[in-house]
Each structure stands twice: as structure tokens, then as C-alpha cells.
Amino acid sequence: MKEKIRNFIVENFLFGERELKDDESLFESGIIDSLGLIKLLAFIDEKFKVSIDMSEIMIENFNTLNDIMETLKSKGSPS
Amino acid sequence: MENLFLYLASLCLSIFIYWFILPSRWRRLFLFLMSLLFISLFNLKYVLYFLFHMILVYFAGLYIDRGENKKKLILTLTLVWLIGNLCFFKYSDLFFSTLIESGFGFSWMPKIAFPTLLLPLGMSYIIFRLIHFVVEVYKKKSPKCSFIDFGLYVLFFPTFLAGPVERFKPFYTQTMEMKAPDLSSINQGLFRILLGVAKKFVVADNLSRWILPALQTPESHPRFLVLLLVYGTAIQIYLDFSGYTDMALGVSRLFGYKIMENFNRPFFQRNIAMFWRNWHISVYSWIRDYFFFPFFGYRASTLKIYIGIFMTMVVFMLWHKGNLNFLLLGIYNGLGLVVWQLYQEVKKKYPSLRKWSLRSYMNPVATFFTFNFVSFGFLFFHLDLPHLYAVLVRIF
């Protein structure tokens, strides 16, 4: 799951031009913005059938790849 | 300036009492009372008005936190009341004076005069803190706290006038784990206050005294100078606003609080989305978290998301001031953000365009373009449409 999400971010936001570290901030480094987060959540919803509640959509829950995995784990998704 | 010295003298005295006279358990109450006193210096009615809203939100939070039935209804009613209050004070003037008093622009409509409403000082920031608190309680992400701790968060006097809109959890954590400041914190606090005073009172105020009258008569200045005045306006607004933030952060630091930053080198960002993400960060991120995500979530269509991006910017600008100029500023930047997002989609389809945009020499070009775009937008801060038009005619 983690690798699929990483690949999605690399392909869609980094255009395959570099790698993404687990603890790299997606927002501070400008890799994704609000619209990017929405696209990422739509991908997670569609691919892994994990729906994120509106109240959970906070930057701090999706700031790094590790944060994303923590958030998904708290929803009972396998890592 | 006399008020400033009086403020600084009272500040020194309060810091001395806060750290050296009071036992640690009384410090929170002292700061809370200091905040009430500070607000009462502007108008005693403000204190009563804010206390009423704080009691309302605190008890709504207690009810919601107990997990009683109808907690969603209580949350909704609280939000409607808070937003209704903000809109009434902030936008009724725009509606009544701009539209009704002018007869909606039609000469045959009757012109009715309405009294001007006095917006309670700091209200926009306080309502945002109250909304944030009650929503976080509903989400079960807010720690339990006493009314004094809650009140201190809402009214904390260094951030009362011009923010930032700090989030409750980090503020409350610092209240609970308060330690006497070390020398480096005091130095940082004093440095930020001096930096803020220099930005606001030395540079920004003097710049505005020179720039604003000159912008009213662009036809009497050379074209290049008018362009510099446009850039100067943007820099003056930044220095004015970030100067206030520096002072607020510096004073907070002297009382042991590290409040979130509100600006992060906005004029050095290479696109408009990055610019706004680094300008007035606390309010922009608040509107993103409590307006954009809940109302335009990820299940929305692409069109709805673009509408959301546009509306977020309009709401962000109207939050600053409820008048026609800020509405136009929101529309201008909202359209700018939508066009920028569309450009991102185009870049995905054309790798050569993407590679070209990523070339190192494009960084300064993109930053300069962004600076120009936002600088011309900032003219809405100070100029009405005829003057704005005159400035554009003079330059182009």
C-alpha cells in the first residue's frame, strides 16, 4: 500500500523525476497543495476502498508518507 | 507613539509580575485578566460581547463532549450563531451601504440611509478561534480544559488585534507545560518586537505616507515611478501586516508562548498558490481546513473543486474586510489560482513544457511574475476602481 501511494505521488506530482522519502513533507516542500491532497484522497478511496471522513482531512494527517500510513492504519487499513 | 510607550511600560510591569511575583498556578488567570483589561481599554462592551460568546461556546463544547444526543444539532446551531454574528457585523455594512443605499445602482430605486455598525475589534480572529474550538471538540481532538484556559486561548492579548489565529491544542499544551523562559527565548522575543516595530512604524507607515497620495495622482508621475509605487504598495502592506505579527509573536514569547508563524517569505515564492500558502498562514490554513475541505471534499467533481478553490480565495479576502474592493481582490486572486491549477494540468500533458518550466533560470522569472501578479492585486487594498484604472492606464 505504501509503495503504491508513493508511486502515485511520484508519478502525479513529481512527474517521475525524483524519489520521495518516507518523512519528506509534501506540503512544506510544495510537492502537493490542497487540490493535490484531494486527488491523493480520491486515489486512496478508489484504489484501497478507504474513505476518509471530512473531519479527518487535515494537512497534519497527510503531511508525509509516514503520516498518511499512520492515518490509514488508524482507520484499520493494512499497511 | 505615546500609547506605544505606555503599552511597553505596562508590558514590562506585567512580565515582571507574571514571572517573578506570581506563583505558577496563578499565571494563567493573570494573563486571562490582563487580556480582558486590554480589550476593555478599547471598549468595555467588547469584553461583555466576547464573554457572552465564550460562555456560549464553552458550554456547547461541554455538551458535545459528553456525547449527548443531538450534539450535531448543538454544533450546527453554535456555528450558525457564530458565523451569523460575524457576517452581520462584517457584511451588513457592505450590503446596506453599498447596495441598498445606492439603490442597487439604479437611479429609479429609492436611496435609503443605514447607520454604520461598529465591528467589535478583533472579532474576526475571535470568532475563528471559537469555531475552531467547538469543531475540534466535536471531532474529539480537543483536550479537556477549564474555562480560564479556554478564555486565555480565545482572548490572549498579544494576538487579539491582528492574529495569528493559533490552534487550540498547541496553545493549551504550552499553557500546561509552561516553563520560565531562558535567555535565548527572551532575546528572540525582544528581537521580534523590535523587528515588528521597525517594519510597522519605521518603514511601512512612512512608505504609506509617501505612496498612497502619489498613487491618487498617477498621471503626474513618470510611468516607471508609478510601477515602483505599485511594488511599494505590496511591500508596504506586507511590512505593515507582518510587523504586527512580529510584535505579537515577540510579546507572546516573553510570556512563554511560541505562537505559529503567519508569513514565510511570500514574495520569494514561485507561484500564486505557494504565495497564498505563505501569506497570513494561520487564517489561510483555517479557511482551507474549515471551509474548503468540508465543502469541496475529494468526492467532488473537478468543476466543483475549481469552484472551491475560487470560493476559498473570495472568503479569505472577504474575511479581511467586507467591502467591494476585497470582494474584487478575492475574485482576482481566485481566478489567478484557478488558471494556475489549469496550467498544472496542461503541464502534465506536455512534458516539454514541464521540463522548460523546471529549468533553473525559470525560478527567478516565475517569482518575478508571481510578485507582479500579487502586487497589482494589492492595489485593491487602497484604491477605488477609477483610481486603479488610472494607475493601469498610466503604466500600460
Cα dihedral sign, B181-B183-B185-B187 = positive
A15/B139 CB distance under 8 A: no
Disruptive mutation site among A55, A61, A63, A74 for chain B (greatest number of B CBs within 10 Å): A55
Q: Which amino acid is at B124?
A: S
Which cell numbers hold the place of B148? 480560564
Give the C-alpha separation, B288 to B307, whole Å: 13
State residue B201's pLDDT score: 93
B23-58: per-residue pLDDT in tens?
Answer: 988 999 999 999 999 999 888 999 999 999 999 999
State residue B34's pLDDT score: 94
Considering only residues B381 and B104, tell me which one the structure prediction assigns the higher pLDDT.
Answer: B381
State residue B353's pLDDT score: 86
Identify the band that residue A77 occupies on the pLDDT scale cut at 50, 70 and 90.
low
Give the C-alpha separation, B274 to B266, whole Å: 8
| Total CB pairs under 8 A between chain A and B | 49
User: Measured between beta carbons, which residues in chain B are less than 8 angstroms from residue A35?
Assistant: 305, 309, 341
A54/B277 CB distance under 8 A: no
B297/A38 CB distance under 8 A: yes
Query: In this predicted structure, which of A16-30, B134-148, B212-226, B236-250 has the lowest mean pLDDT?
Result: A16-30
State residue B116's pLDDT score: 63
- How many angstroms separate the Cα of B385 from the Cα of each of B14, B100, B199, B379, B388? 46, 19, 29, 10, 5
State residue B108's pLDDT score: 64
User: Measured between beta carbons, which residues in chain B are less than 8 angstroms from residue A12?
Assistant: 348
What backbone phi and psi angles, to 5 degrees, belong to B347?
-60, -35
Q: How far is residue B389 CA from its own chain's centroid?
A: 27
Q: What is the mean pLDDT of residues B297-308?
A: 83
Q: How far is B121 from chain A (nearest CA, A)?
A: 29
State residue B92's pLDDT score: 79
**Does residue A47 sit at the B interface (CB-CB below 8 Å)?**
no
Identify the band that residue B102 occupies on the pLDDT scale cut at 50, 70 and 90.
low
Q: How far is B297 from chain A (nearest CA, A)?
A: 7
User: Measured between beta carbons, which residues in chain B are less than 8 angstroms from residue A41?
Assistant: 297-298
State residue B106's pLDDT score: 62
Q: What is the mean pLDDT of residues A48-60?
A: 77
Identify the band that residue B97 occupies on the pLDDT scale cut at 50, 70 and 90.
low
Q: How far is A70 from chain B (nearest CA, A)?
A: 16
A6-51: per-residue pLDDT in tens?
Answer: 999 998 888 777 888 999 988 877 788 877 888 888 888 888 888 7
Considering only residues A41 and B251, tell me which one the structure prediction assigns the higher pLDDT.
Answer: B251
CB atoms within 10 A of CB B162: 20
Residue B145: pLDDT over 60: yes
Query: In this predicted structure, which of A41-45, B78-82, B277-281 has the lowest mean pLDDT?
Result: A41-45
Q: What is the mean pLDDT of residues B4-10?
A: 82
Q: What is the mean pLDDT of residues B316-345?
A: 92
Q: How far is A54 from chain B (nearest CA, A)?
A: 6
Domain ranges of chain A: 2-74
State residue B163's pLDDT score: 82
Find the CB nearest A35 among B138, B274, B341.
B341
**Does residue A9 sit at the B interface (CB-CB below 8 Å)?**
no
Find the CB nearest B298 among A27, A41, A58.
A41
Residue B177: pLDDT over 80: yes
Which cell numbers hold the place of B219? 498621471
* DSSP notation for B244-293: HHHHHHHHHHHTT--PPPS-S-GGG-SSHHHHHHTSSHHHHHHHIIIIIH
> pTM of the entire structure?
0.87
Could you tell me which CATH number the domain at A2-74 has?
1.10.1200.10
Per the listing, cell 446551531 goes with B77
Nearest-CA residue of chain B relative to A30? Answer: B274
Cα dihedral sign, B385-B391-B394-B396 = negative
Q: How far is A56 from chain B (nearest CA, A)?
A: 9
User: Measured between beta carbons, which residues in chain A are less than 8 angstroms from residue B292?
Assistant: 34
Find the CB nearest B273 among A33, A45, A54.
A33
Give the C-alpha separation, B46 to B122, whole Å: 9
Q: What is the mean pLDDT of residues B316-321?
A: 92
User: Measured between beta carbons, which residues in chain B are less than 8 angstroms from residue A38?
Assistant: 296-298, 300, 305
Name the range with the highest mean pLDDT among B114-123, B370-379, B384-393: B370-379
B193-210: per-residue pLDDT in tens?
Answer: 999 999 999 999 999 999
Disruptive mutation site among B274, B298, B307 for chain A (greatest number of A CBs within 10 Å): B298
Q: How many CA atoms lie within 13 A of B237 on its CB side?
A: 20
State residue B112's pLDDT score: 63
CB atoms within 10 A of CB B136: 17
